[in-house]
Structure 1
Amino acid sequence: MDAVRPTSPRRVKVYTLEDDKWVDRGTGYCSGMLEGGPHFLVRNENDTSQTLLKATIEGSTQYQRQQDTLIVWTDSQGNDYALSFQEPDGCLSLCEFLINIQHTIEPNISLVAVVSNGQDGEVTEVIAGPVPEPCFPTDTNLAELLELLNQGAKSNKFKETLLDFIKNDGFLTKLIETFHRNEQNKNLINLYYLCDIVKTLVFYGESAIMETFVDDDAIDGIVGILEYDSEFPNYKTNNRQYLAEKTSFKEVIPIQSDEIKDLVKRTFRLYFLKDVVLARLLDDASFNCISTMIHLNEDQILKFIRSDPEFLPALFKLYDDTNDLSVSKARDGIKLIHQFTLIAKKFQPVPQSEFYKALIDQGLVRLIQFAFKDSATESRILATELIVTIIEHDVLLFNKNETEIDTTLISILIEVLLQDPNVGLKTQAFEAIKVLLDPANIAQSTLPFNSTLGNADGNIDTSLVESGYLQSFYKGAAEKLFSPLEKRISSPSSKSTTITYSNLCELLNFVAREHDRALSKTFILEHNLLRGIGNLHRKCYSLQLRLSALRCIKSIIMLDDEDYVRYLIENDVLHEFMSMLRETARQNNLVNSACLSVLHLVLQNKALMNFKALRNYLVAKYSDTLSLDPIGLELIASGEDAREQSLQAEATEVSPTSPDIPDDVEQENSPLTSKNARRIEDDLATPEKKKKLNNIILKAGKTFRINNYTEEEEASET
């Protein structure tokens, strides 16, 4: 503590108590002085040579702070004084002076605050006072000890004395002995006092005290004391029984460091106190105290795991193919690594990356491969959670090269998504794959400092990383991932199959929207994935799967991409969708609403070229189905309006000397030029014209394109 200094003068009125009345002795300036011993000195404001009050600070005088501007006390001769300060800051300054005097020169004086407590009148709170000496607990002094601990809670000096008393003088040992004696004698009153004493010590929020609670020779007694809570006299927990029967220190790989072993035990006990024994009692200060202790312990444990040259290599050696491993021990290793990753998740990004990278470098992939071959579902679940935790932090950590996706990891996840019968695991694998393929996650990943993917300024070019990363995905894993969409589903009624294909629909939707368009579109069209999505609309499949496919198709349409739209039209991908629309026509349900939303999307964007092409295709081929719903009728009407506008536009362009337009027979035998295509497109709304159009397409030997032909296409077809 800093040396005590005199205070600056503060304007004040001096009062003395005479015949039960406070008498004003004048106004002056009060200072806290040290010369000749600590004292208050008040000089007259009109005549500084006149002293209104000189009051020595000594003995066991108790000073009271009332409201914000009064200090009242009775001196050793029984005289009552009061100082009424003009400003609260003046009162606060003199109170701080008194506190410093109590801590350094006169330890027996005290300062209390008199606080109004509503209907309960006034109560006093000790600000500074004599530090009482702690005493050992006995069967007869527990009430006094509890009162002493409550009084000393606000005194740092008392806490220091008590801590020394606990650590060096055997205070906890005596407390636990008293507990066992009173428990044996069934003295509930004393047991309740003991519980309140331990709770009071917890509320001190001192890490040094909590450290003594989790010692080997103290934890059982402390937990036992806390079983007897006066607030719940009719209930008693069995925390000691749980500690004795349910907990054991199990080593998958022997830890050579006794310090780390002890740290693991102490950390578990702190968790047990925080989350079980004291869960409903902890205030913010004590909760933060225990949480900080746990965090520091876990930091040391993770540093040991990462840096110890023997632990991780020995652990991952369990998963070598050549090793005659114990399956039970290998499963315990999965649980252990899973716990470590969850602990590391609470730390800052850099130590997280360092720990995860150490696991991967030492052979984490071997553990994951074993887990997904293991028949125990728990192993696969823990391994999937482990993967998700790491890749959510940084998707590139599993990659040996920052520009290539790790095919081993994603192959494992794809295998789980496509083959594992557990629906929960499929969903986890889907989420993990989605995280791995998210360009935003790739851009935010922590790249090696020696990366060669830099720009002119030496900074990492994330676009190069993203491009190389995704290219490696489409060259390797993408074909395996989406291969089921190129095949017919074997058992459409299976829940597992439904989940698999629904996830594939979402992943296809995701890569089409988020990935570089050139990469994703080329892959999707070359592998006919949209045709596979279209087939999922069939009536024999589950409603959930049909809706998933519909969402995917709608998302593809919303991209407003000419190549996608051309593929949809040329391959009649929307055929099954229109069948579903016919099934649910004029039904007030979710399926019909989802179908109509696609038509509404086309109608809303009818001015755009690609949506116009879709509209004309739907009107030409499915006008009978469209006519079953109001939105479909509106779509047909918009096509009629467009046809009339087109005819009017062409009429204005034709010169008076232009030859007559060929009749229908001549048109059927003429080349499919762009002009003819536009004329045919205008006539699609009538059934007889559609029939003739089919004949023309059949003779042309190719699928009709709604899109306007280029001059080169026109020349080649001619």
Structure 2
Amino acid sequence: MDAPENPADPDLGSLPDAPHSPAFACDNPELPSTSSEAPQAQEPELPLTLGASEVEALTDVVMVDPQCLVNISFLNDDQEWVSLGSGYAIFSSAESNEGMFLLVRSETDNSVIMESKVCSTTCYQKLQGVLIIWSETDSGGVALSFQYPPTCQEFWETICQAQGKDPCIENTQGLLIESKEQFDRLLRTRDVHMSACDIKKLKQIASLFKLVLPWPVCKQELALFLEDGGYIKRFLQLFQVCENRNDIEGLWHLHGVVKGMLFMDKTSLFEIMFSDEYIMDVLGCLEYDPALEEPKKYREFLTQNAKFKDVVPTTNCILIQKIHQTYRMQYISDILSPLPSIFEEKLPNLTNFISFNKFEIVTILKGDKNFLSQVFTLLKDQTANNDRRSELILFCREFCSFSETLQPRSKKALFNTLVESGIFPALKVVMRVNDLQTKSAAIDVFSYIVEHSPALVQCFAMSEAQQNEDGDLFLKVVIEQIICDSDPDAGVAIQLVELLRVLLDPENMVGSPNAGEKSEFLNFFYKHCIYNLTEPILAVTSEGIYEEDNVVKSEKINNCIDYHKAQLLGIILELLTFCIQHHTCYIKNYILSSDLLRRILMLMNSKHKFLVLGVLRFMRKMVDLKDELYNRYIIQGNLFEFIVSAFLNNGPRYNMLNSAVIELFEYIRVEAAEGTSSPDPIIDVISVDYPNEEEEEEEGPSPKKRPHYSS
């Protein structure tokens, strides 16, 4: 996609924002804006135009017209606006009849930070009422951003008067380059002979590319010229000559020309420049950036550091060439745009060119089922060393990432092929390796599949259970990795729990609204996997850690739960809370049959408050269901005792635990009062005998006071 036509001077790319106008807020980097409040200074206004002697005397003047405060920006080589700061603008008429100059003096030390001669041939443009932009011969695009439109208009009228133009227009030169004839005229006036391809003309050619980049007509004409006659080949031969002669200035100009060619963003040019014949010379030109003290070593990195490995030997020359070319194109793209922008894609055609290459790579590999089967067989090989397995799974991850370039139908066919070729049994083996990088790559591959189609995982899990009911199931391995994670809060546990949440979401069940198909996966999960998920909770809340009347031995709980264990229990509780909300009957049967709620409530005695709050969220979600079986289970098991004990032990401290417990009981009271609550026995059964809030704050709660229950 060509860059949008800019009616401003050719050296200007996307314009900087005006202080009070959001017109360019989404397309360009923001410049520092001046204060929107009107200045309070009462000094008399200075004239806009001063003589040379007056300007010299102005060095010692502190009082200036605050309405002339402007922001100055210039356009760098990457076509981005960079702020130079702010200062006070004024015109100077030179006594030697050299013309009029536009000066900007720093608002801090009164030094001159910009001086520009108002030439009759310079194209000035006024935009948005507060921007004046033009192009300098040496430094490129310049922009002044005013605070006040009337001040901007005064400066504009002065410029137009100096050029003999009508101030009613907003462009002093009109649209300069609208046709091929105007482009040819531009080449003649700048003494640029493109066909000559002479080292002596490199400076003019480099300045030409910088000048015409924003102009669609110029880009089109230049692209047609570069495509024809082997010009790029002859031009890149100059690079070899300059490098052999150590002609640093010539190499700097070549850097500008090659960068200009790439920023033209023409697919036809990419096909030439990224070919095996020219790619290294293109990288060589990019190494000599005049803004750097020392040249970069891009070619050395690609030839010595970047190693291309065939994880599985292949004789497909087209595939190998595409993989190499895509890597090099992505490398050059990162050189040109090291920081991705959320506002605007600088080189959309280059991005599309890379994406199309990735599409071709995926298409070739997808059609070779023997290749994929061989990869997954090698991953399952128990005799494979860690390095070999790491290379294979990293290839799988990159292959899946390339799938993002596919259309939905092609992507679906790709992942179906991966499943048919045996990717899940391979992942089951790789997830269990000790190498963190290898395991992380396997989880990323699993994530790609889940995000694309949870039904693929669900169907495989159910068919696997039917074939080997008591075997080592894939989802059990996933849960095992959650439990074994040494740092659940920062490791793979959170990622895997989120993937399980996606699989357990009824909206994602087999992709069908049919209730029978949805229940089939839930039946599988609660039959084969739920115990594995809750095992860490059951392990730290065994029957021996509490006494009669639900009095839990807190020291035993805390001895069993360190910080990392508490993190693990917390994320498991979050998933169970999700299940409480979405799997009404399935998890209810498991909770009632295993007395799971009592075991969870024992965690209220933990010293880790985030875990205690997770328990309260679980209880709150259960009460919110207003289910009679749950309510009867809570009342008969005297399970509110755990919550009230934690509340009393918290003392008079007003913290999140205090607020969460009060909110829970307030919810029960309000629901019962409104008659909308199914747990009508709860409010009648719970009669809490502890001091009111005022007495608690003054005396503190007595730890011996316990709630009494009456029915």
Assess, with a 3 A threshold, how the Cα gap between structure 1 residues 605 and 194 changes in structure 2: closer, same or farther.
same
Is 1:330 aligned to residue 398 of structure 2?
no
Superposed, 1:97-136 pairs within 5 Å as 121-122=172-173, 124-130=175-181, 134-136=194-196
3-state SS of the aligned residue for 1:215?
A: coil
Higher Rg: 1
Write out aligned runs for 1:555-566 (5 A): 555-566=621-632
Pair 1:296 & 2:356 matched: yes
Cα distance, 1:242 vs structure 2: 2.5
With over 3 angstroms needed to count, the CA separation of the structure-2 counterparts of 1:494 and 1:136, relative to structure 1, is: farther
TM-score by length of 2: 0.64
CA distance change for structure 1 residues 630 and 466 in 2, over 3 Å: closer, same or farther? farther
2:595 pairs with 1:535: no
1:558/1:389 CA distance change after superposition, 3 Å = same
Contact 1:227 1:238 in 2 (8 A): yes
1:615 equivalent in structure 2 = 683
Q: Distance in 1 between matches of 2:624 and 2:400?
A: 40
What does 1:484-503 correspond to in 2, within 5 Å?
A: 484-489=536-541, 492-503=560-571
**CA-CA distance at 1:115 after TM superposition:** 12
1:268 and 2:319 aligned:
no
**TM-aligned CA deviation for residue 320 of structure 1:** 3.8
Paired residue secondary structure (1:241) = helix
Give, as a single letter, the amino acid of the residue that structure 2 aligns with 1:164. Answer: E
Q: Structure 1 residues 345, 536: CA separation in 2 closer, same or farther (over 3 Å shift)?
A: farther
Match of 1:389 in 2: 448
Corresponding residue to 2:649 among 576, 583, 586: 583
Paired letter, 1:629 = E
CA RMSD of aligned residues (A): 3.5
Cα–Cα, structure 1 residues 198 and 383, in superposed 2: closer, same or farther, change >3 Å? same
Per-residue CA deviation, residues 168-225 of structure 1 (Å, 9 max, x unaligned), is 52x3333233223334444343223212211221232211211222222322221221
The match for 1:180 among 240, 249, 255 is 240
Q: Give 1:428's aligned amino acid.
A: Q
Structure 1: which amino acid aligns with 2:625?
L
Report SS of the residue matched to 1:252: coil
Aligned to 2:482: 417
2:398 is equivalent to residue 339 of structure 1: yes
**Structure 1 residue 353: deviation in Å?**
1.9
- Unpaired segments of 5 or more residues in structure 2? 1-124, 127-164, 185-192, 466-471, 542-556, 698-704
Name the counterpart of 1:570: 636
Query: 2:527 — aligned with what?
Result: 475
CA contact (8 A) 1:599 1:632 kept: no
Aligned-residue offset at 1:233: 5.2
Amino acid at match of 2:582: E
User: Structure 1 residue 493: deviation in Å?
Assistant: 3.2
- The residue type paired with residue 347 of structure 1 is L
Q: Where does residue 225 of structure 2 map in the other structure?
A: 162
Q: Measure the CA separation in 2 of the matches of 1:278 and 1:525.
A: 58
Deviation at 1:290, TM superposition (A): 0.9
Q: Number of residues paired by the alignment?
A: 503
Inter-partner Cα distance in structure 2 for 1:308 and 1:163: 38
Counterpart of 2:574, as a letter, is E
Task: Report the Cα distance in structure 1 between the residues aligned to 2:487 and 2:345, rounded to whole angstroms.
Answer: 44
Identity %: 19
Q: 2:591 aligns with which of 524, 531, 546?
A: 524
- The DSSP-based 3-state class of the residue aligned with 2:473 is helix
| Stretch deviating more after TM superposition (208-217 or 486-495) | 486-495
CA contact (8 A) 1:135 1:145 kept: no
Deviation of residue 136 (structure 1)? 4.6
Q: Which amino acid aligns with 1:412?
A: V
Q: 1:145 to 1:401 in 2, by over 3 A?
A: closer
Letter in 2 for 1:413: V
Shift of 1:565: 1.2
Distance 1:185 1:119, change over 3 A: farther
The 5 Å alignment of 1:62-73 reads none
Query: Which is bigger in relative contact order (C-alpha 8 A, separation at least 6)?
Result: 2
- Contact 2:458 2:509 survives alignment (8 Å): no
Evaluate the alpha carbon distance shift between residue 583 and residue 365 of structure 1 in structure 2; reply closer, same or farther with a 3 A threshold: same
Are the structure 2 counterparts of residues 410 and 254 from structure 1 closer, same or farther at C-alpha, using a change threshold of 3 Å?
A: same
Q: Is the 8 A contact 1:334 1:382 kept in 2?
A: yes
CA distance in 1, matches of 2:431, 2:475: 13
For residue 594 of structure 1, what is the aligned residue in structure 2? Answer: 660
CA deviation after TM superposition for structure 1 residue 275, in Å: 1.8
Judging changes above 3 Å, is the alpha-carbon distance between structure 1 residues 115 and 561 closer, same or farther for their aligned structure 2 residues?
farther
Q: Which residue in the other structure is 1:305 paired with?
A: 365
CA distance in 2: counterparts of 1:352 and 1:554, whole angstroms: 41
Offset of 1:272 from its aligned partner? Answer: 0.8
Matched residue, 1:669: none
Supply the distance in 2 between the matched residues of 1:117 and 1:147 (Cα, whole angstroms). 32
Q: Does 1:504 align with 2:572?
A: yes
Match 1:629 to one of 664, 685, 693: 693
Q: Distance in 2 between matches of 1:294 and 1:148?
A: 28
Q: Using the alignment, how far apart are the partners of 1:316 and 1:402 within structure 2?
A: 18
Q: AA paired with 2:503?
A: L
CA contact (8 A) 1:137 1:175 kept: yes
Equivalent position to 1:189, from 224, 243, 249: 249
1:630–1:503 Cα change, 3 Å: farther
The answer to whether the 8 Å contact 1:508/1:552 transfers is yes
